[in-house]
Structures are given as C-alpha cells and as structure tokens.
Amino acid sequence: MSQSAQREVEHDITICAPAMEVYRLIAEVENWPQVFPPTIFVDHAERGDRSERIRIWATAKGEAKNWTSRRELDPDALRITFRQEVSTHPVAAMGGAWWFEPVSDTETKVRLFHDYRAVDDDPEHLAWIDEAVDRNSRSELESLKRIVETAATTAELTFSFTDTVQINGSAKDVYDFINEAHLWAERLPHVAAVTLAEDAPGLQTLEMDTRSSDGSTHRTKSYRVTFPHQRIVYKQVTLPALMTVHTGIWTFTENEQGVAASSQHTVVLNPDNITRILGPDAGVPEAREYVRNALSTNSRATLGYARAYAERNR
C-alpha cells in the first residue's frame, strides 16, 4: 500500500466553553444522536475505563451506514482516538482523533483528525469519502458548538417521556408488528401511506404520511435500527416545525404477564416556531405539552393495535 493512497485531513472549530465540558460531550456517546445530525444511534459493544468498542449507525451523504470503532479515551490529555474495526464500503480503513485544546478557561479549540483509505484505492471511492468526511466533520463541529454554547437553553427545550402498554402476548409478535412498518397503512388508521426500505440487515429507512386529528397529513422520514426481538431505535430526519431533534426507542420486555411494550421519545423543541404554530401567547411549556400529546397519541394508538395483533396470535 503506497503512502499516497492514505488521506489525512483536519477540521477545527473554536467553542466558548471549558475544554473538559466539550470533551465530556464527545466521550459520552449516548449523547450523539441528539448532538450530531448524521448520527442515528450509538451503543457500546465493550466498555472499560479508558478503552471501548462502540457500534455506530449514521448517514454519510444521505446513505445510512454502520460500523464498529475502538476508542481510547484520555481525559488527562483531553484527547480521544478512534479506529474503525470493520469499515463499510467504499471505506477500506478509517481512524482519527479528537483534540480539545484550552484557549482559555472559557474557550476551547476542537481539532478533529481523520485518516482513511478507499477500497481498491479507487479515485471515485476516495472522492466520495473526501466529501462525506468533509460534510460530516463540518456538520458535527458546528452542531457541537451550537449545543455546547446554548446548553442552558437547550436543556429547557429538551425532554423525554415514555408510554408503556402491558400485552398478554409474546415479545416476538409485538416486535414484528412494529418492525413490519411497511404494513402500517393497512394496520394503523393514522398512517396514510408508508415506504420501508432495508438496504442492510437491521438498518431501515422509513418514510410515512401521518394523519393529524384535524385530517391533515404530514410526511416524515426516519432511520431505524432493529434488535430482534428486544428493541427498535430510530431517528427522525425530516421534522415537524416544532422540533429540531426527535429520537425514539420501542422496547419489548417480557414479564410474567406477557410483555411490556414501551415507546420512548426524546425531543428538542424549535423555539423559533412556537408562536407561529401555537399562537402569540404560547411558550415552551405549551409547546412541550402539544408535542408530547401529539407523539403520545400516535404511540399509544400504535401500541394498542400491536397489543390486539399479539393477543390474537397467542
């Protein structure tokens, strides 16, 4: 392998926050779907004090991909290195590092390094990776800056909630109902149309037209990651005007009475659209209530139909 076949690039940004605060946000990968637009879901395959293996599902130039990376965390030096164990075509190998350099007590320069090679050293593959890395790196750093610098405001705008239904049936049947979203237009009255694609096993793209209580419909697009028959996680990437982030998890937990099926949502509100959508007197509390009611209504309806399906199949 010639050295010229490997590309090395760097992106950086300066953030008005202490270095350890910024480091922590990158170290805690559970935050990433809320922080980084391309990230769909991250979980730990292995976890130690300073070393870990993480599984990442994310989009690159609009295509959903997944891979496993090993990370070494060094909070003393404020550095995190990463290396993909198995890369996804057209990437042959990729690694890099995050450096968090204190400019002052309240300012940090974040440097993001990548090194990578393309499959077969193909110039077209390399150009695709160049563009994907550049686009994602800029997006991630800008999003990191925005999230960190507006942390207090974002905390007020961020909330999570869960709806749970007890079902006298099997986890597999309930999971199947949620997994088989291509059938939802036939099975769920609030779904007007749906398209489901699974380009890679367990990684789905779901586009759906949902009916509101006033009869109008709105289109959403989500990426879903499935773990039979335990959970389905998702990230919505086309969002209604009141939200800037919406992620969720369907979980299926067997118990003595059958299965507890839950729908959890995490939302970040878009404050710029609250008065336009809900009126001049509305604020964050009203927006939280409105969004929670809308999402809960659809979740509870879906879980209700899933319960009927699973209990029929007993």
| Residue 48 DSSP one-character state | -
Query: Residue 65: what pLDDT?
Result: 87
Which residues span the domain enclosing 58? 3-149
Considering the domain architecture, whether residues 159 and 143 belong to the same structural domain is answered as: no
137 shares a domain with 15: yes
At 214 the pLDDT is 79
pLDDT attached to residue 4: 52
- pLDDT per residue, tens digit, the chain (314 aa), is 444 579 999 999 999 999 999 999 999 999 899 888 889 999 999 999 999 999 999 988 788 888 999 999 999 999 999 999 988 889 999 999 999 999 999 999 999 999 999 999 999 999 999 999 999 999 999 999 998 998 878 888 999 999 999 999 999 999 999 999 999 999 999 999 999 999 788 999 999 998 877 788 889 999 999 999 999 999 999 999 999 999 999 999 999 999 999 999 999 999 999 999 999 999 999 999 999 999 999 999 999 999 999 999 98
Kindly state whether residues 161 and 141 are assigned to the same domain: no
Q: What is the pLDDT of residue 216?
A: 85
Same domain for 125 and 77 = yes
Picking from 81, 116, 149, the residue at the C-terminal end of a domain is 149
- Alpha carbon of 137 to those of 63, 68, 114, 210, 247: distances in Å? 16, 18, 9, 33, 21
Same-domain status, 32 and 125: yes
pLDDT for the residue numbered 15: 97
Residue where a domain terminates, one of 106, 126, 149: 149
Strand partners, 194: 208
Statement to judge: residues 223 and 298 lie in one domain: yes
| CATH number where 240 lies | 3.30.530.20
Would you put residue 295 in left (φ > 0), alpha (ψ -120 to 50) or beta?
alpha
Question: Cα separation of 207 and 142, whole Å?
Answer: 27
Per-residue confidence (pLDDT) for residue 154, from 0 to 100: 85
190 and 59 both lie in a single domain: no
CA dihedral 83, 24, 8, 1 (to 10 degrees): -10
What tokens were used for 294?
Answer: 């809308």
Tokens of 299: 């979740």
Same domain as 163, residue 144: no
Residues 172 and 303 in one domain: yes
Of 149, 180, 211, which residue is a domain's last? 149
pLDDT value at residue 151: 84
Q: Are residues 302 and 172 in the same domain?
A: yes
Question: What is the percent of the chain where pLDDT is above 90?
Answer: 84
Name the helix (H) or strand (E) containing 157.
Answer: helix 151-157
Contact 231, 243 (CB under 8 A): no
242 and 100: one domain?
Answer: no
If one counts the domains in the chain, the total is 2
Residues 28 and 92 grouped into a single domain: yes
Q: Would you tell me how many other CB atoms lie within 10 Å of the CB of residue 161?
A: 15
Determine the pLDDT at residue 3.
45
Q: Token digits for 156?
A: 């007020």
Contact 42/51 with Cβ under 8 angstroms? Answer: no
At 213 the pLDDT is 75
